[in-house]
């Protein structure tokens, strides 16, 4: 995640404490789906959720989640911050 991605805005920890979901709703990758290209940066504020699992004292990223529709908001494709801010809330 980049410095301006708002990484950690929303977090959710599993009941057993071994799986953590962390949002970054200003993340800018235009990728879609699971574990796609995190370096894309073509859709400002598209958003993403990162999933980590814990084994002992070590956390490892297991998934990078993106909406299936990260493209420009159809009403104004030239607007700054045109993504849908996926990950604004997680549960």
- Positive or negative, the CA dihedral 1, 28, 25, 18 is negative
| Under-70 pLDDT residues of the chain | 72-82
**Total domains in the fold of the chain:** 1
- H/E element, 7: strand 7-13
- Tell me the two tokens of residue 32: 């879609």
- Tell me the two tokens of residue 50: 């990162």
pLDDT at site 65: 96
- Tell me the two tokens of residue 30: 């235009």
pLDDT at site 81: 54
Contact 66, 35 (CB under 8 A): no
Domain span at residue 45 reads 1-91
pLDDT at site 44: 87
pLDDT at site 85: 87
Residues 6+ apart with CB under 8 A from 90: 10, 11, 12, 21, 23, 49
């Amino acid at each position: 995640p980049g410095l301006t991605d708002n990484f950690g805005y929303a977090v959710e920890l599993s009941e057993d404490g071994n799986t953590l979901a962390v949002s970054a709703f200003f993340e800018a990758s235009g990728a879609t789906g699971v574990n796609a290209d995190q370096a894309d940066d073509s859709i400002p504020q598209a958003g993403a959720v990162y999933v980590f699992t814990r084994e002992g004292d070590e956390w490892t990223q297991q998934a990078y989640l993106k909406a299936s529709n990260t493209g420009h908001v159809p009403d104004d494709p030239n607007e700054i911050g045109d993504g849908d801010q996926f990950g604004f809330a997680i549960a």
